[in-house]
Structure formats: C-alpha cells, structure tokens
Chain A
Amino acid sequence: MSDLHRLTIHEAHALLKEKKISSVELTRATLKYLESIDGKIRACMRITGGHALESAAIADKAIAEGRCSPLTGVPAIIKDNMCTRGITTTCSSKMLENFVPPYNAHVIEKLNSVNAVMVGKANMDEFAMGSSTENSAFFTTHNPWNPDCVPGGSSGGSAAAVAADACIYALGSDTGGSIRQPAGFCGVVGLKPTYGRVSRYGLVAFASSLDQIGPLAKDVTDAALVMNVISGHDRRDSTTVQMEVPDYTRALKKDIKGLRVGVPREYLVEGMQPGVSRAIEAAIEQLEKLGAKVDRDVSLPNTKYGLAAYYILAPSEASANLARYDGVKYGYSYRETTNVWEAMQKTRQLGFGPEVKRRIMLGTYALSSGYYDAYYLKAQKVRTLIKRDFDRAFETCDVLVTPTSPTVAFKIGEKADDPVQMYLSDVCTLPINIAGVPAISIPAGFADGLPVGLQFIGKHFSEETLLRAAYAYEQATPWHTQKPALA
C-alpha cells in the first residue's frame, strides 16, 4: 500500500491492530510523502524522521505485545509551540530558534504514553499571534487547496499538513481561533476544547486565560479519538478541571433528532462572503433535514464588543507572558554590550517579529498606569457580558452554529500590512475563547474553490454534544472526503 499517509486515525488503527501494516511502514510512507510535498506547502518547521522511526519501532513492539490503542503507532505533526524534550521548539520565532526544551509538554507525555509517533513540528505564526502563518519568522505555509492562499493561522502548518494528507492528524493551539480558522481555511476538522479540559503545561504561553490545545483531524471520529488521549486533569496546570474524561467516540451518533440548534444572528456578519453565506445556509437546512430543531433568531447582543475586548485581553496577557524573553535564561541573546538594559532591549528588538512587538506594545499600554481601568478592566467586564450572552443562549439551545470565518482563505500578502483587517478574520471565533466555551470547525462545502468552515459552539464541557452534531452533519455530507489536488 503506497497511500498509507492518506488514512484517518481509525482506518490506520484498524490495519495496525490486525497487523496488516506496521507502524514503521505507515511512518515511512508518511515521511516519504511529507518530504516530497513539504517543499511546496511548507507546513513543517522541522521533520523529525529519525525520532519518528524510533518511536514507530517502539509502537510496533507495543502492538506485538497486545497494547494497541487508537493513537498507537499513528504519525502526527505537532505545532511548534508545544515543548518536545530534546527537539527544538521554536514557536516560529528567532527568539527560540535554537531552544531545545528539557521537558515534554503534558500533551506530548500523553501521546508518548500510548506510543504515538511524531513526524514533525509545524510552522505557525510567531508565538501563535496571527491568522495566516505569514507571521512565522522563517517562512509562510501555503494552503494545499491553492498555494497562492494562506492556510490560516496561527496553527496553519498543522492544518495544511492534515489537509494535504502529509500526516494522519495534528495538534494545534487556539487562543482566538487558531485551530478553527485554519481548519476552516484548509477543509479539515479542528476542535478547541473548553478552557481547562486540556493541560497547557509545556505549551509556550501566549494568553494564559484563553489558550487551549486541541486536535486538527481528517474527520470528526479522529478528533474524538485525539480528545480521549489529551484531555484530563494535570496538577501542573491548576486551571485544568477534575472532571472525568468520557469516551468521546460514544457521542458519535448520526441521530440529532430534536437537537436544539441556534443560529446567532450577529455572526452572519456584514462583509461576509456570499459563497460562505450560501454554504452556511445550506448546512443549516441540512441540520433541519436531519431532525434538528433550528432557531434562527438567537441573539448574542454583545458580540460586537468581542474583537475589541479580545485585542485588549490577549495582548495584555502576552505582554506579561513574553516578559520572560530577556536573553538570560534561554533563547536569543544580544551580546554586543555589557549594559544590562541595552542588552535586554536589543535582545527583544532583534528576537521578536513585528506582530509580536505590536502586541507587546498594545498590552503594555493597556496595562499601564492611567489606562488600566479604561482598557484592561473594561475588557474584563465586557468579558462578563459576552459570557452571559452564551449562558443565556444555552438556556434554550444545545449548540449554536455559525460560519468559522466570514471569508474563505485569502491571498498571501493580501492583509499582511493591515493588522485590523487581519484581526477581523477571527471575528467569529474569538468570542468563544473569551467565554471559555468549546467549539469545533468542520468542512461545509466550498466557495470559489476554497473550503468553508462550519462552527458548532457548545456550553462549557459539552464536547460530546459538539461531536455528535458535527458527526451527524459530516456523515450526511460529502465534504470531508474531498481532497485538494496537489500536483
């Protein structure tokens, strides 16, 4: 079999379990294909071939001993902001270009515990700040559906690799849409779990009250399988909850009869691309056909404040988190001076790229004396309003459905010089992080030849409901089976 890299997790698992293929074969095939196309899509900061084949051999041994769980021996790509012991973790930043973590992130430990295989570290917007992967300090990733377009961001490398079948699944992180927006742009499934469902230990911090790790996958079943492994309490991240992790695959039922689906009217925003509107409208009709009770008149009235509140909260937290990059403990260090302050300022000037600096500046301003109440405190209060909107909507709805993004993937360079236009591409995803609720983006058709993402939003810890709705829709539509024609 030469097309092993095209398998889903559940397909690969079935073959591994029946010993029809080995993990080494699967990993070799995946690496071969990844290496052959990565020159074109540039999804990876680093391909970890030697490490992967070692892990695959260990996985084969585990399988021979009867230990074969769904991720065992299955190749994944990991966003390069999750610490991997002994393997460079760059955050696509010059600041961390040569940083080799001395420990693994919690999610990496979890993957290792079931003998998963990591074939690469994915390119991203520097420190996860961006919506296009153009902010990587090293190179831009290309959308497999059209190489002139961005893959979205910040988990653009992860999404492009999954869409191109250059791995079986990937992990990303989502602070304002960074899993869901690239999943939508690349036509794959992306889940942002409830805040506190997955440990952030070893995830390089961007905005700690918003960051969450989640899967990018070829279908909803795979997303559930990854969630089964990465979710759960971790004493090293005190914001993780002490709730049992269900078997998420039990939620995968085609029946959504009676499911109360709300369509928040504020998300059908002005400036939405007509092709996206049409696809979302068709998806809503499909949900009705499947028996869902659709309420088209749900309102989340404070949505209009989401973007502004987010761009105070996230940069403020970032400015504090990124204070650690001082050229002393690790990372880039400017050495042409003996003056301590000059060294620190030069280190940060030369180590960070423009978007990271912009957000540090914005956050520093919002937290500075005299402006704290007007910006940061005000945004925290608006956060209460946005959260209440969701609480109220979930009194009458089981899930909300929206577009993942107002447009399909845009051209590389199109928004690179206009931060505000770039920020607008996350207008449908960032209120979800502000409220801490979970959401999933799944493929819902095409507009102008590019994938459209459909977003389901649920209340805190309702991932099972999200997966059920997403699965029912996926199984009734052909979108997840369509693949980009990579020449």
Chain B
Amino acid sequence: MKLTDEEVRHIALLARLGVSDDEVEKFREQLSNILENMEILKQADTEGLAPTSQSVALENVYRPDEPAPSLPVSEVLANAPKREDNSFKVNAVLE
C-alpha cells in the first residue's frame, strides 16, 4: 500500500494536523511502510466472526443519573488559553 502526497495531505486535513512539505514526504514513506506490514491481516480468516471492542465483555453499563456538584468554573477555566467571563474564548467560526 503506497500512499501519495495527496492522500497524506488529505489524512492530515481530516485530523486537523498541520504538516510541512518535509513531513508530508516523511509520513508518506513511513506510513506506507507501516501499512505494508499490516497486509498480513488479509491472511487472517475472520469469516463470520463478530468484532471485539470490549475485551472483558461488559455491555451497556448503567447507573442512575444523579445530580452532583461539578468542578468550580474558575478551576475549569484556569487552563484555558483564552477566556472571557465564564467561557472559553475561540476565534470566529463564521465571519
């Protein structure tokens, strides 16, 4: 599985990850090499098998939805890069 520069840029865009031209080249080679090593999975006979997402097989764990105190807003916002009053401040999404 050989990736193209275009594919690498597309994946980076999906991941919202900025990439330099050097990184595109490096990722193209490294990811192609890694994906080649994954070809082995095609040999695994998984016909009719269900996928496992939870290894200990717990399903649908419920608990009562009880109100409880949250963290103080000031503490939650203490790590915010930008804030205004009691909110996180972001760049305009629509201009």
A residues with a Cβ closer than 8 A to B are: 98-100, 102-103, 194-196, 209, 235, 238-239, 241, 302, 304-305, 307-309, 311-312, 319, 323, 326-331, 333, 335, 337-346, 348-350, 352, 357-358, 360-362, 364-365, 368, 375, 377-385, 387, 419-420, 434-437, 460
Contacts and interface: CB of A to CB of B under 8 A. Distances in A.
A357 B23 contact: yes
A379 B51 CA distance: 8
Given A338-B92, A364-B11, A239 B44 contact: no
A341 B93 CA distance: 8
B41 A379 contact: yes
A349 B46 CA distance: 37
B41 A330 contact: no
B46 A385 contact: yes
Contacts of B16: 323, 326, 341, 344-345, 348
Given A307-B37, A349-B19, A384-B49, 20 more contacts: A308-B38, A312-B41, A329-B79, A330-B79, A331-B81, A333-B81, A333-B82, A335-B81, A340-B90, A348-B16, A348-B17, A358-B27, A358-B30, A364-B14, A378-B46, A381-B51, A383-B55, A384-B52, A385-B49, A387-B55
Contacts of B82: 333, 335
5 contacts: A241-B56, A329-B79, A342-B18, A349-B20, A381-B50
Interface in B38-61: 38, 40-41, 43-44, 46, 49-56, 58, 61
Contacts of B54: 209, 239, 436
Of the listed residues B16, B33, B43, B82, the one surrounded by the most CB atoms of chain A closer than 10 A to its CB is B16
Interface in B66-95: 71, 75-76, 78-82, 88, 90-93
Contact of A327 (B33, B35, B81): B81
Of the listed residues B17, B71, B92, the one surrounded by the most CB atoms of chain A closer than 10 A to its CB is B17
Contact of A362 (B18, B31, B91): B31
Contacts of B53: 209, 380
A381 B79 contact: no
Given A340-B93, A382-B41, A364 B80 contact: no
Contacts of B50: 381, 384
Nearest to A460: B56
Contacts of B44: 302, 305, 378, 381-382, 385
A251 B58 CA distance: 26
A434 B41 CA distance: 15
Contact of A312 (B20, B38, B61, B90): B38
A435 B55 contact: yes
Interface in B7-35: 8, 11-12, 14-20, 23, 27, 30-31, 33-35
A434 B88 CA distance: 38
Kindly list the 9 A-B residue pairs having the minimum CB-CB distance in the complex, ordered from nearest: A436-B55, A380-B51, A349-B18, A333-B81, A330-B79, A345-B18, A381-B46, A102-B75, A238-B61
Contacts of B37: 307-308, 311, 420
Given A305-B40, A349-B17, A361-B27, A340 B51 contact: no
Contacts of B58: 196, 238-239, 241
A265 to B, nearest CB: 18
Contacts of B23: 357
A348 B27 CA distance: 16
Contact of A358 (B31, B91, B92): B31
Given A377-B51, A384-B50, A385-B44, A345 B78 contact: no
A328 B90 contact: yes
